[in-house]
């Protein structure tokens, strides 16, 4: 990758240039030391560029219609004068057949719009995606003038929690289904969601979708009330017929208005920043330590002893921690 001076990125973002934005994201994703130095400086310089944006997380199983929805919804917002960035996290591209990264035809129309920016960011690593740079990408998009940031993920694994921790509004997309289908949706994710959108509410499925909405709403009565005072809303939509986009946007706006007036909007972002910092520091410490070959060897030896029942877990842990302490001293 060709590396530019810091000012190239700063000026490019300020000028809302999509090419510079893409290059800036590549820069922060780079693992090379020289790139990281400029990336850190760049991120530090844009930290002040506060713009009123809304960060929306979207999750749902493959095939539910996320990309069709984002394509239509995104274009709808652009028509209203917004700028829409879409960042996709693919937690396990091999497992899902690369449904986010691989499919080039996704959001074809939106991707050609100069007021849109679409970028997949792979995070298929063992650490549950904590090492990915999506948070940085969100900040860069905002610095480039994007005021609606959509972070999309496939509903598998831990990616929902990861995304929920970096957005303001978390949206779960489902399709019309029987009561049994709805029971299959993980309760934790439903509780996490600020809004549930039942897509494909069209044609033969329109009636079933209405019934699903009723079922969902009554099931959700059993959930513990959120401490933000917001109760999860359910909206119907058809990405195919381009209907329901306005009510989804209305729902998101009501949420941001309510959270802004009670101070929780900013507080949530601050909390997210603090836990982001803590997460990265912990990860850094872990990587520093596991990078030491002496510790790795010891860990393998102790692990084997535990496996073979030759040593108690307590003793193995104590021995391991003793050596870690020596390393840190
Ligand atoms: P994703 O994997 O969640 O991104 O889903 P896609 O957007 O790729 O959609 C999966 C399939 O569902 C495609 O064949 C779409 O044409 C279809 N689809 C998406 N939205 C709708 C909708 O609102 N109604 C109907 N009937 N089909 C839809």
- For ligand 1, atom 12: residue with the closest CA: 65
Write down the pLDDT at residue 97. Answer: 42
Query: Is the same domain home to 215 and 255?
Result: yes
Write down the pLDDT at residue 105. Answer: 58
Write down the pLDDT at residue 128. Answer: 44
- For ligand 1, atom 11: residue with the closest CA: 63
Query: Is the same domain home to 121 and 238?
Result: yes
Query: Is the same domain home to 115 and 255?
Result: yes
**Atom of ligand 1 minimally distant from the CA of 60:** 3
Please list the ranges in the chain whose pLDDT falls under 50.
Answer: 93-102, 104, 124-130
**Atom of ligand 1 minimally distant from the CA of 203:** 26
Write down the pLDDT at residue 99. Answer: 46
Ligand 1: which of 59, 239, 243 to mutate, judged by most atoms within 8 Å of the beta carbon? 239
Write down the pLDDT at residue 253. Answer: 97
- Per the structure block, which two tokens stand in for 138? 């969100």
Going from the C-alpha of 248 to that of each of 57, 184, 196, 244, 272, the distances in angstroms are: 13, 23, 9, 6, 24
Write down the pLDDT at residue 218. Answer: 86
The number of distinct structural domains making up the chain is 3
**Atom of ligand 1 minimally distant from the CA of 238:** 23
State in Å: Cα 315 to ligand 1 middle: 54
Write down the pLDDT at residue 169. Answer: 97
- For ligand 1, atom 26: residue with the closest CA: 200
Query: Is the same domain home to 181 and 321?
Result: no
End-to-end CA distance of the chain: 39
Task: Supply the range of the domain harboring residue 231.
Answer: 50-262
Write down the pLDDT at residue 1. Answer: 62
- For ligand 1, atom 20: residue with the closest CA: 65
Q: Which residues line ligand 1 (CB under 6 A)?
A: 60, 62-68, 99, 199-200, 202, 238-240
- Per the structure block, which two tokens stand in for 69? 């929805």
Whether residue 285 is contained in a domain is answered as no
Write down the pLDDT at residue 11. Answer: 96
Q: CATH number for the domain including 242?
A: 3.40.50.300
Ligand 1: which of 68, 74, 111, 203 to mutate, judged by most atoms within 8 Å of the beta carbon? 68
Write down the pLDDT at residue 86. Answer: 94
State in Å: Cα 78 to ligand 1 middle: 21
- For ligand 1, atom 25: residue with the closest CA: 200
State in Å: Cα 33 to ligand 1 middle: 42
Q: CATH number for the domain including 14?
A: 1.20.5
- For ligand 1, atom 7: residue with the closest CA: 65
Query: Is the same domain home to 207 and 67?
Result: yes
Whether residue 37 is contained in a domain is answered as yes
Q: Three-class SS string for the chain?
A: CCCCCHHHHHHHHHCCCHHHHHHHHHHHHCCCHHHHHHHHHHHHHHCCCCCCCEEEEEEECCCCCHHHHHHHHHHHHHHCCCCEEEEEEECCCCCCCCCCCCCCCCCHHHHCCCCEEEEEEECCCCCCCCCCCHHHHHHHHHHCCCCEEEEEEECCCCHHHHHHCCCCEEEEEECCCCHHHHHCCCHHHHHHCCEEEECCCCHHHHHHHHHHHHHHHHHHCCCCCCCCCCCCEEEECECCCCECHHHHHHHHHHHHHHHHHCCHHHHHHHHHHHHHHHHHHHHHHHHHHHCCHHHHHHHHHHHHHHHCCCCCHHHHHHHHHHHHHHHHC
Contact between 141 and 21 under an 8 Å Cβ cutoff? The reply is yes
Write down the pLDDT at residue 90. Answer: 66
Write down the pLDDT at residue 156. Answer: 60
Q: How far is it, in rounded angstroms, from Cα 112 to Cα 78? A: 12
* Burial of 240 per CB tally in 10 Å (0-12, 13-18, 19+): middle
Whether residue 21 is contained in a domain is answered as yes
Whether residue 286 is contained in a domain is answered as no
């Amino acid at each position: 990758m060709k590396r530019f001076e810091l000012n190239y990125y700063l000026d490019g973002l300020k000028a809302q240039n999509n090419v510079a934005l893409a290059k800036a994201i590549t820069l922060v994703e780079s693992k090379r030391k020289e790139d990281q130095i400029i990336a850190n400086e760049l991120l530090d310089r844009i930290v002040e560029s506060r713009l009123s944006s809304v960060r929306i997380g979207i999750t749902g199983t493959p095939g539910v219609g996320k990309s069709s929805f984002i394509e239509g919804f995104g274009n709808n917002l652009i028509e209203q004068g917004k700028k829409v960035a879409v960042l996709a996290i693919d937690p396990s591209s091999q497992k899902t057949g690369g449904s986010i990264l691989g499919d080039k035809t996704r959001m074809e129309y939106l991707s050609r719009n100069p007021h849109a920016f679409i970028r997949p960011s792979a995070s298929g690593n063992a650490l549950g995606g904590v090492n990915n740079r999506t948070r940085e990408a969100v900040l860069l998009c905002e610095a480039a003038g994007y005021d609606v940031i959509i972070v999309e993920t496939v509903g598998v694994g831990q990616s929902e929690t990861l995304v929920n921790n970096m957005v303001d509004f978390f949206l779960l997309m489902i399709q019309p289904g029987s009561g049994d289908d709805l029971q299959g949706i993980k309760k934790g994710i439903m509780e996490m969601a600020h809004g549930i959108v039942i897509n494909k509410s069209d044609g033969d499925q329109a009636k079933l979708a209405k019934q699903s909405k009723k079922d969902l709403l009554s099931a959700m009565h059993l959930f513990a009330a959120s401490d933000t005072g917001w109760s999860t809303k359910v909206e119907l939509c058809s990405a195919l017929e381009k209907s329901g986009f306005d009510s989804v946007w209305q729902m998101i706006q009501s949420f941001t208005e309510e959270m802004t007036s009670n101070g929780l909007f900013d507080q949530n972002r601050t909390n997210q920043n603090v836990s982001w910092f803590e997460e990265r520091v912990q990860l850094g410490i872990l990587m520093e330590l596991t990078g030491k070959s002496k510790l790795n060897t010891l860990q393998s030896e102790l692990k084997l002893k535990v496996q073979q029942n030759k040593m108690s877990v307590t003793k193995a842990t104590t021995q391991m921690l003793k050596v870690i302490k020596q390393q840190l001293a």
